[in-house]
Structure 1
Amino acid sequence: MTAPAGVRARAHVLARGDGRGGTVLPVLEGEGPLTVRRTRGSGAEARVVLVGAMSGPLGGDHFTVTAEAAPGARLRVGSAAATLALPGQGKAGARYDVRLTVGEDAELHWLPEQLISAHGSDLRVTTRVDLAATARLLLREEQVLGRSGEQPGRLTSRLTVRIDGRSVLDQELACGPGAPGGWDGPAGLAGHRAVGQLVVARPEFATAPPTARVLAGGAAVMPLAGPCALVTAVASDALRLRRLLDEALASLD
């Protein structure tokens, strides 16, 4: 039997409340190109950084990252650098799956650096989030289509969010060669090469949801059907995109 092409790698982070107002990390595991490191936290929050040990994902690779903030825990997960999707030796596409779970009275900040879709790559990203009714979430996704001066690869990204078992968001974006027509037209990215979003879940949004609005610069805020809001933005480059998302987040406070 022929072994599957590409690298299979997993990382798993579990955060629990320590019963004294802090957070412990009983599980902190990574393999292959997915290395996980604990960094200095702040107050009750534990902080973790994903460190890419090699380039990728390449065509044929399949990475899976799971992170759970158990009831009462406070967890922040970031990455040491941008993720660069590259073409592999074969024609197979790559997959990157993210599974996030946040329990009652727990909080998760999922704040990786940008995902860059290099020319010739083919990557499918799926992010699934399950939140308890009183959970808090700040999730950031930033995607850059192509490195400087190059055309993008194929990038398909699906994000689903459930709160207390009920779906509040299920969306998919496909960009680059082979994506459905119109992805770069006026109803899509309109020529922009950086696209991003924030998902913000706070229990207080159940009674005082944010107002739907378009902010200066082009970011849009939309309340969802639950204690949750979605911020979306497009920009000419990654730096401008991060600025728009930061400004939109500040407007929610």
Structure 2
Amino acid sequence: MGGVTMSGVRATARIVARADGRGGTSLPVLEGEGPLALRRTRGSGSEARVMLVGAMSGPLGGDRFGVGAEVEDGARLRVGSAAATIALPGQAKGEARYDVRLRVADGGELQWLPEQLISAGGSDLRVTTRVEVGARGRLVLREEQVLGRVGEEPGRLSSRLVVRVGGRAVLDQELGCGPGAAGGWDGPAVLGGHRAVGQLVVVRPEFGARPVAARVLGEGAVLVPLAGPAVLVSAVAENGLRLRRVLDEALSGLG
């Protein structure tokens, strides 16, 4: 259960998507609390759509947020958010945490497309995203982080993304930015002065038989195949708008 404590807010949200036997997708579990409210929106064909709303004023220092989604065999789910998530400083001491856990069964499909995460000055946030995809599952996952609001230095942001496909780890990467992060995070080998960074992970069974070749997608963006039926697009940009454009073009290019 969620609530407010001396050390911050605790809140969780959970989604389960299941094939309804009529060519569509049902949502037998759609539970959110506090700043993590969930709303079902109009779907398309066999796809169910869910919007995460109400998380516009947090997480603050000391908060603990957790979101989980499970897509069963034959189900299709698309999850977005109504607005950007802004990490802000809070009265409680210590870092805030935002944990995301996703599971896609064989024959399931998940599009995880939240709006951008903005690291405001003075904030301290650790984000961890762990994804399990079945060998025949399908995934599109987008992560976008913007360091600071306009004219503002960023807070401290630590982000880890772990993806496993068919029980095998295909990606485990971590990035730390802002005050207190390891030296060089803003240097030419990492962000190179850019203030927006993003990843796009696409898992499709057909990539196993027809691997996608690595290629540069333009200034600050590259596509690389992973050790499995998956590809990773990594990009940096001067702002969130440009970052979104690059990632959208990369996804369109994959067909």
Give the TM-score category using the shorter length: over 0.9
Give distance in 1, aligned partners of 2:55 and 2:188: 39
Task: Map 1:57-68 to 2 at 5 A.
Answer: 57-68=59-70
Shift in Å, 1:74: 0.2
- 5+ residue gaps, structure 1, are none
Give distance in 1, aligned partners of 2:30 and 2:157: 29
Moved more, 110-119 or 13-22: 13-22
Shift in Å, 1:248: 1.1
Aligned CA-pair RMSD: 0.9
Is 1:106 aligned with 2:108?
yes
Task: Map 1:26-175 to 2 at 5 A.
Answer: 26-52=28-54, 55-175=57-177
CA contact 1:134–1:202 (8 Å) conserved in 2: yes
How big is each residue's C-alpha offset from its partner over 1:137-180, in whole Å with a ceiling of 9 and x where there is no partner?
00000000000000000000000000111101000000000000
Shift in Å, 1:217: 3.4
Give distance in 2, aligned partners of 1:53 and 1:245: 23
Task: Map 1:191-202 to 2 at 5 A.
Answer: 191-202=193-204
Shift in Å, 1:106: 0.6
CA contact 1:144–1:193 (8 Å) conserved in 2: yes
Shift in Å, 1:252: 1.3
Give the TM-score, by structure 2 length. Answer: 0.97
CA contact 2:59–2:86 (8 Å) conserved in 1: yes
The aligned residue for residue 230 of structure 1 is 232
Change (3 A) 1:12 1:42: same
The amino acid of 1:247's aligned partner reads E
Give distance in 1, aligned partners of 2:220 and 2:11: 37
Give distance in 2, aligned partners of 1:53 and 1:171: 25
Shift in Å, 1:214: 0.5
CA contact 1:217–1:244 (8 Å) conserved in 2: no
Give distance in 2, aligned partners of 1:128 and 1:218: 25
> Residue 205 of structure 1: which of 203, 207, 221 is its match?
207
Shift in Å, 1:209: 1.2
Change (3 A) 1:105 1:116: same
SS of the counterpart of 1:232? strand
Is 1:189 aligned with 2:191?
yes
Give the TM-score, by structure 1 length. Answer: 0.97
Shift in Å, 1:120: 0.2
Give distance in 2, aligned partners of 1:216 and 1:93: 35
CA contact 2:55–2:85 (8 Å) conserved in 1: no
Give distance in 2, aligned partners of 1:144 and 1:53: 16
Shift in Å, 1:136: 0.2
Give distance in 2, aligned partners of 1:108 and 1:4: 36
Change (3 A) 1:90 1:108: same
* Segments ≥4 residues shifted beyond 3 Å: none
Give distance in 2, aligned partners of 1:76 and 1:53: 18
Matched residue count? 251
The amino acid of 1:235's aligned partner reads A
